[in-house]
């Protein structure tokens, strides 16, 4: 595991070297891997990571549900609640459906709705890594929504590199570093020889220069 002090120093440098913008920049981490055959699906990373300090702004969560669960989702402040009839409306306009999928960070769904979602919206949600996380029918979605608001998806494709947001300008660098360590734990967990798999790690703001950590 990378030393937290190194991460804090790199994050401070990244923030210092980035000009003030008219928007709040995101702080990102880039992790480069080596010696991993990503043509083999079992070697790829695809997971959701909870960040203890969030990103400085909540992630958007959409809920596929009906009846009581839909009501609970609205009361929990879900950014979108999609009922069965809404799915049919969405698939009428693929452009609109794609735009909607891009606007939401995470989806959850009552388990019985998953087959219909997969059949009708799978081609749109799947490639974007937005396949809903199933929850039991009639369960309270609030705890899942609250957790996902402070989570990010970490995903590798066919290249040995992945990027993830770890905070935003204005957050304490120590807290951003602690978020970054949660991302790096994914590499430790996924690969037995994690020390030799990690080629390099960089941090940067949205429009700032990349600062090497290791």
98: domain CATH number is 3.40.50.790
Is 136 found in the same domain as 78? Answer: yes
Is 48 found in the same domain as 86? Answer: no
Is 12 found in the same domain as 28? Answer: yes
Domain that residue 13 falls in? 4-56+150-212
- Token code pair at residue 171: 């957050």
Give the end of a domain, one of 123, 148, 173: 148
pLDDT by 10s per residue, the chain, length 214: 789 999 999 999 999 998 888 899 999 999 999 999 999 999 999 999 999 999 998 999 999 999 999 999 999 999 999 999 999 999 999 999 999 999 999 999 999 999 999 999 999 999 999 999 999 999 999 999 999 999 999 999 888 999 999 999 999 999 999 999 999 999 999 998 888 899 999 999 999 999 999 9
Is 202 found in the same domain as 191? Answer: yes
**Which of 155, 175, 180, 178 lies closest to 165, judged by CA?**
180
Is 156 found in the same domain as 142? Answer: no
Per DSSP, the three-state class of 60 is: coil
Cα–Cα distance for residue pair 10/43, rounded to 1 Å = 28
Give the end of a domain, one of 148, 169, 195: 148
Q: What percent helix, strand, coil does the chain show, rounded to 5? A: 45, 25, 35
Per DSSP, the three-state class of 139 is: coil
Give the end of a domain, one of 129, 148, 167: 148
Number of separate domains in the chain: 2
């Amino acid at each position: 595991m990378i030393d937290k002090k190194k991460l804090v120093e790199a994050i401070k440098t990244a923030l210092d070297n980035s000009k003030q913008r008219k928007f709040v920049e995101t702080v990102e981490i880039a992790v480069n891997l080596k010696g991993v055959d990503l043509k083999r699906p079992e070697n790829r990373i695809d997971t959701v990571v909870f960040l203890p300090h969030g990103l400085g702004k909540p992630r958007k969560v959409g809920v596929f549900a009906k009846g009581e669960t839909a009501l609970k989702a609205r009361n929990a402040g879900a950014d979108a609640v999609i009922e069965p009839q809404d799915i049919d409306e969405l698939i009428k306009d693929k452009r609109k459906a794609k735009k909607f999928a891009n606007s939401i960070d995470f989806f959850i769904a009552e388990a019985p709705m998953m087959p219909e979602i997969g059949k009708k919206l799978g081609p749109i949600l799947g490639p974007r890594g937005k396949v809903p996380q199933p929850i039991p029918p009639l369960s309270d979605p609030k705890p899942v929504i609250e957790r996902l608001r402070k989570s990010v998806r970490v995903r590798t494709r066919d290249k040995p590199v992945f990027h993830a947001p770890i905070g935003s300008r204005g957050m304490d660098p120590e807290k951003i570093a602690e978020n970054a360590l949660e991302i790096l734990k994914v590499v430790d967990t996924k690969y037995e020889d994690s020390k030799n798999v990690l080629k390099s790690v960089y941090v940067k703001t949205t429009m700032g220069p990349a600062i090497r950590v290791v």
